[in-house]
Each structure stands twice: as structure tokens, then as C-alpha cells.
Structure 1
Amino acid sequence: MIRNIYKALILILFFPSFYVFSEQGTAVAAERKKATGFLYGAGISVNKEIYKGYNTRTMPLPLFGYQGENLSVFGPFINYKLLDANRFTLSAKLAPRLQGFDESDSAIFKGMRKRKSSFDAGIGIDYQKNDWKIVLTSMFDALNRSNGFEIKSTIGHVFRYGPIFFEPSISLSFLDKSHVDYYYGVSKDEVNQNRGAYLGHSGVNKSLGLSIATPIFFAGYTRLNLEYTWFDKSITESPLVENNSSLQLLFVFTKNF
């Protein structure tokens, strides 16, 4: 339970804040560009896991972070802008890989070895024009837990209605064989009557997202993120998995010191 709360805490620290304050080149970024320095706030996370025996988790969480001109640090998430030219931005990234499980998380994991969280390192390339943005990231397991990597591409567009910003987006995420096998595979010595052996292979997940943001409340910044993900059959065919899709909701309010 404590481990799951820690994972959700790190997620809420990173996802909404980093997305809001990163250099986006959109109308949202223009509103927030001057808001550098330390920030604080609160949020709530609602997430449905796809593993068998996991329930929807709802957690109220605190929020802290820092945004500089080139350096962004939100807990263990670090982003450093290396190059910004001709609508392209190149950044170095470090982020925890908040996946994994142990036997206490669900009955389906009884008798299995623990799958550990890790840290990913890599680069990201952003292309920005007007209110459009295309992002490509390549991240690898820096701690050699899964020895895997992920390549993700996202395209989004911001629509502004007065002080309210709407940003729909679509994403494709390629996960290599090592990553999928580590987090969703079942080795021969882990087989029992409830799960057969499973060797994971590479796959592509697809996501639709929607972000709604506004600076009008309490001299801070309010943001709601919704993301619906469809998982590749290389993941959903695992005997550890019972759902082929999941919905995540993140709601946060932040304010600069």
C-alpha cells in the first residue's frame, strides 16, 4: 500500500506540472512562461490498473516543483533543454519508471518475483508551430531492471476560449520486447494453476488525451488531464492482465511561491 501511494505521489508531482511548465510554444506556454521558480499545490489522481486484482485508486496528493529557464525539476523528474532553434527543442530527460508489482499487490502475483520500478534516461525532441506541437521521446532503462526502452510520439493542439485552454492529443508508444517481458511476462518457474508461462514481445500502445487548463482560480493554475490508453496485444494477452484499456484522470491546482 505504501509503495503504491509513493508511485502515485511521484506521478502527480510530475505529469501535470511538468506538462504545464515545459516549453510548449503554444498559447498555454505563453500564459505560463513568466511563471518560473518554485511552485506548490495539491491534486487528485484516479487510475485504473490493467493487472488482475487491481482496483481503481483515488488519492489526494501534495504538489511541489521548480521551473527554470532551461532546467525543470519535479521530484525525481529532470528535464534540461539542450537546444532551442527553428521551432525545435532538444532536451535531456531523467524520469522514474513507475511500473512493477510484488506479491502483496494482487493474488495473481503470488509466487512471482518482484518487478521493480526503475529510472529512465533519454532525449526528447519537440517541434512547435503556432498551437500545434509534436513530441518524440526515446527513453531507456538506466538501472537495467528490464533492460528495455520506450519510444513515444505525441501530437497535440491547443484551443483557447477566453481564459480556458483545451488541448486534445494522440500518442503512440513503442515498448520493446525486454520491457514488455519484464513487466507482463511469466517465466516457467512462476507458472501455477492461475497463470501459464508467457514470453512478452514488443508492442505499440495507443492513447487519446484531453487537457483543460485555466489561470482564473485563486491566482494559480488549474488543470484537468484525461488519458485513455489502449494496450497492445503483446500486453493484454499476458495472464497477468484482465483489461485491454485504462483511463487515467489527474486534477491539480498549482501556484508559484
Structure 2
Amino acid sequence: MPVRRWCVPLVLFALSAGTARAESGDTVPTGADDSGFTVLSNATNVTHWGLGAGVGLAQSPYKGYGTKVEPLPLVYFDDKWLHVFGTTIDVKVGSWSGVSVALRGKFSISDGYKQSDAPILNGMQDRNGSAFWYGPALAWRTAFGTLSAEYLVGGNKGERASLDYRKSFDFGKFSLTPHAGMDWLSAKYVDYYYGVLPFEASAARPAYAGKATWNASLGASVNYKLTQHQSILLDAGVSHLGSGITDSPLVGKRFIPEVKVGYVYQFK
């Protein structure tokens, strides 16, 4: 489902209370070994990894589609050079005064639709949900939270950019992280997923050429640390779709609620 994915570098589940603090940016790297290009850094290469599984539930923006249930692969790996979570892979470029830069690759596996998914889509060409997105990403970590951004391109599916802010608060075994963000979607992206080509048009579905738009989101994630290595994760929020999407005759919703829950075992 091609709406906002919470979050950005990003809005993602944390693997433990300690990891959540690092991800949210409450701890700013200090010391000479933590600044500069990664390839030139003398920092010790420490590896962390974990495995888990989860499920996401979200309403589809398409008329008559209902709620979509998606499995979530929670694979985690982090060392000096790479950060991997789920379907996102970051190659670490470097860090300067709390600002980290990475080259990101992200696999989308559940966007798009089949014409059999909803009556409004009957007669439409299927939109392929699989895509590989790539581009730069950065995160600015301060004591006030983390501001993250990414700009990704995906071949014939256009471009997308995200801006996300989050701040973690720890309460014993619990970690609460409110987050807010904006997504920019190019006209090519919107046209691919929400456009109606002239030969697809009907009396109930006029032709529509997508235009670039902004989506906004607000939510919070909760991490409960069962043991030193085990965490239960919950993320809930809502996205507000921009007019480039809601003007489409395929779309019947402006607000998209979403809930994700998962379990992760962190080995190291």
C-alpha cells in the first residue's frame, strides 16, 4: 500500500530500550573516533544483530479495499559499515557533530494492487508492488530528539522524500517514542499508484493524471523490554493524504490509521 511508512531511517521499530535511545538520537556520538568518514574512522567495529517477526494492519486508501494485513520481517544487523532493519539497508558514509549520512537501499514488497482487490479497481492494470528504492539519507541526533531525512528514487515509480522527527522517553522497561513526519511523493509516483489511464477510465472512474503531493503523519511507538535480549514492539499512528492522492477517483479516504506490532530477539 503506497502510503507513508513510519518512519524514516527511520521510523522503525527499535530493538531494545538501549537501541531505541540510540536510534532516536538521545545519545550524541562523541570523540574523535566517532567523527568523519566511516572509511577513515578508527572506531572499533562492534556488531549487533537480532531476528523477529511482526504484523501490520492499515486501511487502504482505495475505495472498497478495507483493511490490509502485512507480515513484517524484523531482521536487524548493525556494525561500523552497515545498518540493516527489515527491508532497509544503509551503507554508513560518516558522522559529523551528531549528523550521520548514509546511502540507503529500500525494498518495497507490498505496494501496488491487483484489479481484483476492490470493485473500483476492476478493469485497471495491476500496479506492481515490488520496487527497489535508493538514495541518500541523514539523521541529526541531539538531546532534543532526532530529525531524519531521505530522498529515494525507484525507476519507473518516480521519487519520494521523507522528513521525520522523533524523541524517546524511558520509563523502566518501557520506551515511548512520539514521532511526526512528512512525505513528498513525485507526480510520477502518484500517477503510477493512483492515476487512471484513458483506456482504464469508465463512467464511475474518470481518467486522472497524478500530481506531486505531500502526506503528513503523527504517531507513537512503544518498546517493552521483556528480558535483556527480548522486546515487544508497538507502533500506532495516522497519515493524512495529500490532495494529489485524494483527488484520484480510486481513493475514498483522507486519513489512514495504521498499527504495527512485533517481537524481536537481539542476539548481540
Distance of 2:72 and 2:244 partners within structure 1: 33
User: Alignment length, in residue pairs?
Assistant: 239
| Alignment-derived partner of residue 133 in structure 2 | 120
| Alignment-derived partner of residue 56 in structure 2 | 45
Deviations 1:14-71 (A, max 9, x none): 94268967744326x9xxxx99443222322211111112121345666433332331
Note if contact 1:45-1:249 (Cα within 8 Å) is conserved in structure 2: yes
Identity over aligned residues, as a percent? 25
TM-score (norm 2): 0.79
TM-score (norm 1): 0.82
1 or 2 for the larger relative contact order (CA 8 Å, sep ≥6)?
Answer: 2
2:130 aligned with 1:133:
no
Distance of 2:201 and 2:226 partners within structure 1: 54
Distance of 2:87 and 2:53 partners within structure 1: 18
One-letter amino acid of the structure 2 residue matched with residue 227 of structure 1 = G
One-letter amino acid of the structure 1 residue matched with residue 136 of structure 2 = I
1:214 to 224, 229, 243: 224
2:13 to 2, 13, 16: 16
- Map 1:142-221; keep pairs closer than 5 Å: 144-146=155-157, 148-217=158-227, 219-221=229-231
Residue ranges of structure 2 left out of the alignment (5+ in a row):
6-10, 30-44
Cα RMSD, aligned residues only: 2.9
**Deviation, structure 1 residue 232:** 0.4
One-letter amino acid of the structure 2 residue matched with residue 231 of structure 1 = L
Note if contact 2:72-2:86 (Cα within 8 Å) is conserved in structure 1: no
2:251 to 226, 229, 241: 241
Deviations 1:126-169 (A, max 9, x none): 1011241101111111xx222x1112111111122223211111
Distance of 1:229 and 1:16 partners within structure 2: 17
One-letter amino acid of the structure 2 residue matched with residue 16 of structure 1 = F
2:88 to 74, 77, 99: 77
Distance of 1:92 and 1:238 partners within structure 2: 33
Residue ranges of structure 1 left out of the alignment (5+ in a row):
9-13
Deviations 1:63-112 (A, max 9, x none): 43333233123454211111112010001101123421122222222221
Distance of 1:131 and 1:36 partners within structure 2: 27
Distance of 1:74 and 1:128 partners within structure 2: 19
Stretch of structure 1 that moved more, 73-82 or 232-241: 73-82
Q: Greater helix percent: which structure?
A: 1
Distance of 1:35 and 1:220 partners within structure 2: 20
Evaluate the alpha carbon distance shift between residue 227 and residue 166 of structure 1 in structure 2; reply closer, same or farther with a 3 A threshold: same
**Deviation, structure 1 residue 217:** 4.3
Distance of 2:70 and 2:145 partners within structure 1: 32
| Alignment-derived partner of residue 111 in structure 2 | 99
| Alignment-derived partner of residue 26 in structure 1 | 26
Distance of 1:226 and 1:232 partners within structure 2: 20
Evaluate the alpha carbon distance shift between residue 194 and residue 41 of structure 1 in structure 2; reply closer, same or farther with a 3 A threshold: same
SS of equivalent to 2:13? helix
Evaluate the alpha carbon distance shift between residue 62 and residue 91 of structure 1 in structure 2; reply closer, same or farther with a 3 A threshold: closer
